[in-house]
Amino acid sequence: MIKKKIIKNTIDHEILIEGFYEETKLIGIICPIAYYTFVSQINQKLAYDFKRDHELEVEYNQNYFSVYSHFDKLKNIESYLYVNRSRTEYLINESPKMDFIWLLKGNSINQKLILELTTSIRKMNGVINCFAFDSALLKNRELLII
């Protein structure tokens, strides 16, 4: 009886994770500059208004990871910018050089938008690389669920 309940809870958990990532795109950013400098560049050069959201801050392995949020009312897209590194470790360590993860959520996200964003981000000071990637590649993707 208990085994069935554990299996059902595991399946339900996976369904919730899949549901969250349904209309979501992720961009990994390698940019070893200070997070506040990078966020400021995005706000200035891409006309975003990312603000640090202390309520969304992620605690993992006794480390805290800042999260910045922005909502585009015209496109109905939620954006979350995760600082993927602390002093001692990474939140998502599948790509240990990835300094930031930009999560976009909404039904109007398309490949054109992702291409425009990654192209613009690559041109910013301090950015080494920027790439879109699939959430299914992440072992701990539940850490990014808002």
Residue 123 has pLDDT above 90, yes or no: yes
Residue 43 lies in a domain: yes
Residue 32 lies in a domain: yes
Dmax (CA) of the chain: 57
Residue 17 lies in a domain: no
Residue 70 lies in a domain: yes
Residues of the domain holding 41:
23-144
pLDDT at 23: 77
Percent of the chain, pLDDT > 90?
A: 47
pLDDT digits (tens, 9 = 90+) for 30-82: 999 999 999 999 999 999 999 999 888 877 778 788 999 999 999 999 999 98
- Label residues 4-15 b or e (16+ Cβ within 10 Å = b): eeeeeeeeeeee
Residue 79 lies in a domain: yes
Residue 116 lies in a domain: yes
Residue 15 lies in a domain: no
CATH code of the domain containing 117: 3.30.310
Q: Is the pTM of this model over 0.85?
A: no
Q: How many domains does the chain have?
A: 1
Q: How far is CA 124 from the centre of its chain?
A: 18
Q: Degrees (nearest 5) of the Cα angle 125, 70, 72?
A: 105
Residue 9 lies in a domain: no
